Structure 1
Amino acid sequence: MKKIVVLMLMAAAVASACAQNISISGNVISIVDKSPIVGIIVRVKGTSMLVTTDSKGFFRFDNVSSRGTLLFSAPGFSTRIIPIKGRKSMTVMLTPESSPIMWDSEKLVICEDMSGGSMPASLMNKTESTDESYSKISENGFKRTTDSPLSTFSIDVDRASWANVRRFLNLGQRPPQDAVRIEEMVNYFDYNYPEPADKTPYRISTEVAACPWQEGNLIMRIGIQAKRVATDSLPSSNLVFLLDVSGSMSDANKLPLVQSAFKLLVNNLRAKDHVAIVVYAGAAGVVLPSTSGDKKTKILEAINNLSAGGSTAGGAGILMAYKIAQENYIKGGNNRIILATDGDFNVGASGDADMERLVEEKRKSGVFLTCLGFGMGNYKDSKIETLADKGNGNYAYIDNIQEANRMFGKEFGGTLFTVAKDVKLQVEFNPAVVEAYRLIGYENRMLNAQDFKDDAKDAGELGSGHTVTAIYEVIPKGVKSPFVKVVDSLKYQATKLTPEAKEGMEMATVKTRYKLPEGDASIPFEVAVPFRKGKINVASESLRFSSAVAMFGMLLRSSEFKGTLTKQQIVDQAKSARGTDGEGYRAEFIRLVEAYNDKITD
């Protein structure tokens, strides 16, 4: 009997040891050329834990069962299901679904394949219907230059849309049309624009080429490059982390990812920086008063101790965060609230209009608001975007630790330090050479012509090192188009062209206005755009790649203006403009376009 008991205890001990939680990391590479694969979704089977591989194909999980199973999948690659079996590292080789290469489990992965065969990622990752919300987008149409020569809009450095669209594509799903904000897709990628040589906070560059999707038309690209400020030269920061810890944030890609992301930011803090942490669930509370950035252990401990539960009193949390930010305000410094949430507010001020009025009132304090979206299923993009737009801040979607590292590691200064605020653009087109034009994207950033010189009108902020790209499709004078509608001649006035217009040397003039971070009066700055008709294949790498991204946005939105656009055309143009691509973001874009199937349902 004693022997049986001893054996049972030994078996239990062995089982306990086998089931211990461990950390596991690894790399995913292609069987074709052994190159790292960016954006592979790695799941822990039977849990909500999920990460995606970074630019080096790297992934990592902490606190997973040693007897768990990992699933590797992405559109365009065969899915692999691999048991962990106590291993702490692994290298996994994947093959494109179209590749004729046959699998050999012993040679391709250090763990055997337990799936019993390959399964398309698009089937493996189908998810149930969701309760996500997006603001409706009505696509910009063409405007006749003689009727509307001015196009006025606010800049947008937000990048949330592409990260969110990427999430849908990686899951084998077509993103909702209103989730596709083309300007945010384009502005996700970096471009080699010239930097300002004087004290101006940014420099404008322009380029014109033949339109790839509509013969006879042109595309005009406007590029803005903000000056770069070295991290050690950035002013002192007064930061308030406003973290949603409600019950809806319990998933692995919500609060646990929030904690990992903010730890990256804490590592970049300096002694002259200060951080407070406010959380909200059923009520709002302070878990860390304003603390010096050199007390990293104390700040990290507060982050580690967070847990999710309760309803979502977002309005109360925002009020408390602004109160603390104002109490610790640093004149001439970077005063900013960083909100992390899935946007699912349901207690107190929760409607879009209520939250908008609240943040509009509080931005007068000089405190900026950065909004970070997390998670899926109940993600409220519409609410988070509203807060960022009205709070003098930026908006990003964090779908993995790689994206968090981009925000808080590589682009620390651009994320947190504003070099110019309320930046507006007004493009005046020359009616002598331009019949009509349309701005691609920026639908929710459009302004009235009179708003351009109105310093009370809010506009976008530009961070250190940020780039902004805007693309117009232009119908030259004399080109017939079904999108240019005939209107009757005016009875009481006529268009009179200036000598400059008649010379036809300029297509447009790009006018901008901006304020310094603590200024109230806007400063004008403008450049002229020469009239050219260069071929797209000889255009700059920046124009070719940015327009390829815009083309994919039009394809995802089923745009009525997409003309002869095809998926292969996007792939070919993007590949020709991939460039050095040190972080692999452009390669990831190309892979997702190649794997995209326009037959899949929303």
Structure 2
Amino acid sequence: MENNQDIDKRFNDASKLSEEPAVFPGFDNVWAKVEEQLDKKEEKKRILPVWFPYGIAASLMIGLGAFYFITKDKTHESSEPLIVKNRTETHSEKNSVRATDSIVRSKIEKEIEASELSQKLPDLAYEDAKVPKDRGRVAAAQKNDEIFALKRSDYSTDEYYIKKKDQTVISAPQIKRKQWDDTTTTKSIEEVVVTSLMATKKNAAQSSASSTIQPNYIASNSNVSQALAGRVAGIQIQAYGSQRRNRNAMANKPGTPNIGYLNNNNPIVIRGMKSLDSTNEPLIVVNGKVEGRNYFSTLNPEKIESMEVVKGAGASALYGSRGVNGVIVVKTKRLSRKEKRRMEKMEQTINQYKPNPVSDNEGYDEFVENPFELTKNQPLSTFSIDVDNAAYSNIRRMINNGQAVDKNAVRIEEMINYFKYTYPQPKNNDPFSVNTEYSDAPWNPDHKLLKIGLQGKNIAMDKLPASNFVFLIDVSGSMDSPNKLPLLKSSFKVLLDQLRPQDKVGIVVYAGSAGMVLTPTSAQEKEKIMLALDNLQAGGSTAGGAGIELAYKLAQENFIKGGNNRVVIATDGDFNVGASSTSNVQALIEEKRKSGVFLTCLGFGMGNYKDNMLETLADKGNGNYAYIDNLQEANKFLGKEFAGSMYAIAKDVKIQVEFNPKYVSSYRLIGYENRKLKNEDFTNDKIDAGELGSGHTVTALYEIIPAGTKSEFLPNDSSLKYTRTESSGDFGSELATVKFRYKKPDGDASKEISQVVGNASGKLSSASSDFKFASSVAWFGLVLRKSDLIRKKDFSEIENLARQGKANDTEGYRSEFVRLIESYKAISK
């Protein structure tokens, strides 16, 4: 017991003596093994506290030192007291103990000192008494690269650990002090460090797959702008001219890696977005918080888990006008609880407005564009008017979502008639005025364009008859989407704001079956109607046919004689129970229109949207058709244009144009492919046609090949043996005669009016703004349909013509069309 106490006392006394050179045999080998084990742990990316490996090393050295002291002389006899043996020894053992403990203490003190210094100066490149001249440049480069170096020294080596800010540790090979002193005289510090880093397999994996890293571009290699360029869909990094010159200069240097030369000042632009203010920089959001460009540029790309581009309605829903140039949403790998909550809330909003690609599950009827007709063989052209505008808003949805436009979704007449034109009001008792204009065709310069426009009579709201509305609402499972049933409810509330106390509203819904939710109720009880709407929920299959039957039954039971009786159906058009095919629904709606009840179709949603079903319903059911892609469109169709959309002033309106072969060699009707009628149907009052609403405008365009004009699109002339095709007389300068037939909303007999068009053509530059704008819309539609009957297809020319026709754009719809051309031009490249 006494011997043991004496040993402890001797050990403590020895540790208090002054440090002497280490004489512990094999100590270097032991330390090397410790270092080897630590390096293996670091290569596995295991993050340990700074003091942990050194604590282990210190413990091992203390234990080995004590063990060595006790067992140094293995030849002594076990019965001989160790304390006696030690008293007769020289001071060599004491020196060994002192050296061992001195080394342990020295290393621990140095590590504590280095740790404290690294916390105070996180961007310090090296901690050494000998600071090379280029230390400042290294520190700056490493700061930009978000890398800093920590140096740990013992008696024989300088070892460097390169540590990313995400705590990933990369161990560099050891650099002998002599090697360091030699190399720093001819090489920069960066080259020494990078050379040592490149020697390890670990760092090779961290070097962005580059075979060589040039020291001068270390900072650029981890710049977030480089990480974005070409890797995130929808983002464009604009490089400055000087950077492009540098890039070209370096391109011819052998071994130069393709690591990018983008700096923190490169503008980031979201493709397909047109700036509405002086800048086009997007809003940058990191972990649910709006951050500045400087913060974003210094963000370590390795910390980024995901990045998403949000624009259009999604960006507006998140940040309103601040998101006008789009939003870049960045999510890092490690989030706090607060950041997680913010990101979950953001992701919910983004998912509501996330675009779905136009899929094969959307339904569009194929059709062939109208061909050119030889006037001498077919001088008559007959068609039904069309006041639908669903095609335009549907195409707008596709373009704004960056989707390919289905050519069969492009109905040019609906695109043209989406916009209002400044035609004069009718002067007589006729329900509409007739207006024509004749000028050059912009897409085929040798051709002409005839514009025919109708202007419906404006009737004041207090003069409109009482209304009997039945809302037929699809609440099937397919409507369970933010841009369907929720948007539908908001849209109907816009409609309710236009109604008067004498107007009535009933609500019928359908899913697996049909049912009545609200009996016809005065619009004065708005809260009751809105409550019925708010309680609707989506689920089940889609029995559209049963819903139509019940809605018309309710409308007929509450029919107002001389009033406005109308079913308003809101759906994505996906009927799958009962009468579900287009032909079956067509037969059903043709039967129901005999009741005198009109029909308005409102389309919602995407992905499974059935445009062909809703177009059939509107065309065959004395109705009109609009596609609601956002609340602004609902406000336009159901709010601002409420009277024209919901109150018909004429029905079964037909147009027949007879061309004079003296001036017209050939012609074709632009659009209206689904509205063409047989020539004999013009005077047949049993044939259904389109309806014209209060204040509504209808526009049609004919492309004409003038007589004597050589055109590649002129049809081949077939000589007839028995039929005379010459002009039957001299009609002066008459180009054509336009005839119209219509019925009153509650009438069965049609009335005809006519108007002569003169052969007086002006240049396109002197045409009216309405002519220029309507022709630009038609031109855009022809390009979207990939028409084979036009020569010029340049979007810039279309945009320029549309800008010339922007006059009287009080609501901004024409300006929106110009931006739509710009967006499509950007995404179609």
What is the TM-score of this pair, normalised by structure 2? 0.59
Unpaired runs of 5+ residues, structure 2, are: 1-272, 289-306, 328-341, 345-353
- Paired position in structure 2 for 1:5: none
| Alignment RMSD (CA, Å) | 2.7
The answer on whether the counterparts of 1:145 and 1:435 sit within 8 Å (CA) in structure 2 is yes
Give the superposition deviation at 1:561: 1.2
> Paired residue for 1:546, among 774, 792, 799?
774
- Greater displacement, 406-415 / 152-161: 406-415
Alignment-mate amino acid for residue 593 of structure 1: I
Give the superposition deviation at 1:536: 0.7
Give the superposition deviation at 1:565: 2.9
The answer on whether the counterparts of 1:80 and 1:113 sit within 8 Å (CA) in structure 2 is no
Q: Does 1:160 align with 2:390?
A: yes
Alignment-mate amino acid for residue 262 of structure 1: F
Map Cα deviations across residues 81-109 of structure 1 (whole Å, 9 max, x no partner): 99x6xxxx754054499xxxxxxxxxxxx
The answer on whether the counterparts of 1:269 and 1:293 sit within 8 Å (CA) in structure 2 is yes
- Paired position in structure 2 for 1:341: 571
Map Cα deviations across residues 311-353 of structure 1 (whole Å, 9 max, x no partner): 0000000000010000000000000000000000000011111
The answer on whether the counterparts of 2:311 and 2:326 sit within 8 Å (CA) in structure 1 is no
Q: Does 1:593 align with 2:593?
A: no
Map Cα deviations across residues 26-47 of structure 1 (whole Å, 9 max, x no partner): xx99463499xxxx9xxxx99x
> Paired residue for 2:805, among 566, 569, 577?
577
**How far apart, in 2, do the equivalents of 1:400 and 1:332 lie?**
34
Alpha carbons of structure 1 residues 559 and 598: separation in structure 2 relative to 1, 3 Å: farther
- Paired position in structure 1 for 2:609: 379
Give the superposition deviation at 1:438: 0.4
> Paired residue for 2:691, among 453, 461, 482?
461
The answer on whether the counterparts of 2:310 and 2:326 sit within 8 Å (CA) in structure 1 is no
Give the superposition deviation at 1:126: 6.8
- Paired position in structure 1 for 2:297: none
Alignment-mate amino acid for residue 387 of structure 1: L
> Paired residue for 1:450, among 677, 680, 683?
680
Q: Does 1:560 align with 2:797?
A: no
Query: Aligned to 2:578, what secondary structure does the other structure show?
Result: coil
Give the superposition deviation at 1:408: 1.4
Query: Aligned to 1:207, what secondary structure does the other structure show?
Result: strand
Alpha carbons of structure 1 residues 160 and 81: separation in structure 2 relative to 1, 3 Å: closer
**How far apart, in 1, do the equivalents of 2:724 and 2:797 lie?**
42
Following superposition of structure 1 onto structure 2, how do residues 345-356 of structure 1 map, counting pairs within 5 Å? 345-356=575-586
**How far apart, in 1, do the equivalents of 2:714 and 2:787 lie?**
17
- Paired position in structure 2 for 1:242: 472
**How far apart, in 1, do the equivalents of 2:667 and 2:386 lie?**
20
Map Cα deviations across residues 3-32 of structure 1 (whole Å, 9 max, x no partner): xxxxxxxxxxxxxxxxxxxxxxxxx99463
Query: Aligned to 1:208, what secondary structure does the other structure show?
Result: strand
Map Cα deviations across residues 361-415 of structure 1 (whole Å, 9 max, x no partner): 0100000011010000000000010011110000000000011111111111111
Query: Aligned to 1:548, what secondary structure does the other structure show?
Result: helix
The answer on whether the counterparts of 2:803 and 2:818 sit within 8 Å (CA) in structure 1 is yes
Q: Does 1:497 align with 2:727?
A: yes
Give the superposition deviation at 1:80: 6.4
Unpaired runs of 5+ residues, structure 1, are: 1-27, 47-68, 98-111, 115-123
Question: Over alpha carbons, which structure has the higher Rg?
Answer: 2
Alpha carbons of structure 1 residues 94 and 277: separation in structure 2 relative to 1, 3 Å: closer
Q: Does 1:203 align with 2:433?
A: yes
- Paired position in structure 2 for 1:308: 538
Q: Does 1:512 align with 2:757?
A: no
Alignment-mate amino acid for residue 368 of structure 1: F
Give the superposition deviation at 1:113: 13
**How far apart, in 1, do the equivalents of 2:316 and 2:661 lie?**
61
**How far apart, in 2, do the equivalents of 1:358 and 1:391 lie?**
9
The answer on whether the counterparts of 1:29 and 1:93 sit within 8 Å (CA) in structure 2 is no
> Paired residue for 1:32, among 258, 261, 277?
277
Alignment-mate amino acid for residue 464 of structure 1: S
Map Cα deviations across residues 138-160 of structure 1 (whole Å, 9 max, x no partner): 10010000000000000000000
Alpha carbons of structure 1 residues 319 and 522: separation in structure 2 relative to 1, 3 Å: same
Alpha carbons of structure 1 residues 383 and 29: separation in structure 2 relative to 1, 3 Å: closer
Q: Does 1:73 align with 2:311?
A: yes
Give the superposition deviation at 1:477: 0.3
The answer on whether the counterparts of 1:274 and 1:292 sit within 8 Å (CA) in structure 2 is yes
Query: Aligned to 1:92, what secondary structure does the other structure show?
Result: helix
Alignment-mate amino acid for residue 277 of structure 2: V
The answer on whether the counterparts of 1:74 and 1:172 sit within 8 Å (CA) in structure 2 is no
What is the TM-score of this pair, normalised by structure 1? 0.81
The answer on whether the counterparts of 1:514 and 1:524 sit within 8 Å (CA) in structure 2 is yes
> Paired residue for 1:407, among 622, 630, 637?
637
The answer on whether the counterparts of 1:31 and 1:93 sit within 8 Å (CA) in structure 2 is no
Alpha carbons of structure 1 residues 96 and 152: separation in structure 2 relative to 1, 3 Å: same
Alpha carbons of structure 1 residues 532 and 309: separation in structure 2 relative to 1, 3 Å: same
**How far apart, in 1, do the equivalents of 2:643 and 2:816 lie?**
25
Give the superposition deviation at 1:496: 3.9
The answer on whether the counterparts of 1:154 and 1:446 sit within 8 Å (CA) in structure 2 is yes
**How far apart, in 1, do the equivalents of 2:276 and 2:675 lie?**
44
> Paired residue for 2:666, among 428, 436, 440?
436
Q: Does 1:321 align with 2:551?
A: yes
- Paired position in structure 2 for 1:471: 701
Alpha carbons of structure 1 residues 152 and 128: separation in structure 2 relative to 1, 3 Å: closer
Give the superposition deviation at 1:73: 1.1
Give the superposition deviation at 1:125: 5.3
**How far apart, in 2, do the equivalents of 1:178 and 1:309 lie?**
30
> Paired residue for 1:529, among 757, 773, 798?
757
- Paired position in structure 2 for 1:20: none
Following superposition of structure 1 onto structure 2, how do residues 70-109 of structure 1 map, counting pairs within 5 Å? 72-74=310-312, 91-92=321-322, 94-95=324-325
Alignment-mate amino acid for residue 316 of structure 1: A
Query: Aligned to 1:323, what secondary structure does the other structure show?
Result: helix
User: Which fold has the larger relative contact order, with Cα–Cα distance below 8 Å and residues 6 or more apart in sequence?
Assistant: 1
**How far apart, in 1, do the equivalents of 2:814 and 2:802 lie?**
8
The answer on whether the counterparts of 1:30 and 1:93 sit within 8 Å (CA) in structure 2 is no
Alpha carbons of structure 1 residues 90 and 393: separation in structure 2 relative to 1, 3 Å: closer
Alignment-mate amino acid for residue 457 of structure 2: K
Query: Aligned to 2:377, what secondary structure does the other structure show?
Result: coil
Following superposition of structure 1 onto structure 2, how do residues 170-209 of structure 1 map, counting pairs within 5 Å? 170-209=400-439
Give the superposition deviation at 1:581: 1.3
The answer on whether the counterparts of 1:126 and 1:172 sit within 8 Å (CA) in structure 2 is no
Query: Aligned to 1:508, what secondary structure does the other structure show?
Result: strand
Question: Segments of 4+ in structure 1 off by > 6 A?
Answer: 79-82
Query: Aligned to 1:495, what secondary structure does the other structure show?
Result: coil
Alignment-mate amino acid for residue 32 of structure 1: D
Aligned-residue sequence identity (percent) comes to 53
Alpha carbons of structure 1 residues 361 and 125: separation in structure 2 relative to 1, 3 Å: closer
**How far apart, in 2, do the equivalents of 1:269 and 1:92 lie?**
35
- Paired position in structure 1 for 2:208: none
**How far apart, in 2, do the equivalents of 1:469 and 1:582 lie?**
19
The answer on whether the counterparts of 1:173 and 1:600 sit within 8 Å (CA) in structure 2 is no
> Paired residue for 2:369, among 129, 139, 145?
139
**How far apart, in 2, do the equivalents of 1:159 and 1:81 lie?**
25
Q: Does 1:265 align with 2:510?
A: no
The answer on whether the counterparts of 1:455 and 1:521 sit within 8 Å (CA) in structure 2 is yes
**How far apart, in 2, do the equivalents of 1:389 and 1:80 lie?**
36
The answer on whether the counterparts of 2:385 and 2:654 sit within 8 Å (CA) in structure 1 is yes
- Paired position in structure 2 for 1:23: none
Alpha carbons of structure 1 residues 136 and 130: separation in structure 2 relative to 1, 3 Å: closer
Alignment-mate amino acid for residue 317 of structure 1: G
Map Cα deviations across residues 175-200 of structure 1 (whole Å, 9 max, x no partner): 10000000000000111111101210
**How far apart, in 1, do the equivalents of 2:506 and 2:440 lie?**
51
Query: Aligned to 1:499, what secondary structure does the other structure show?
Result: coil
Give the superposition deviation at 1:600: 4.3
Query: Aligned to 1:399, what secondary structure does the other structure show?
Result: coil
Query: Aligned to 2:554, what secondary structure does the other structure show?
Result: helix
Map Cα deviations across residues 530-565 of structure 1 (whole Å, 9 max, x no partner): 112211111001100000000000010000112123
Alignment-mate amino acid for residue 135 of structure 1: D
Give the superposition deviation at 1:598: 8.3
Query: Aligned to 2:445, what secondary structure does the other structure show?
Result: coil
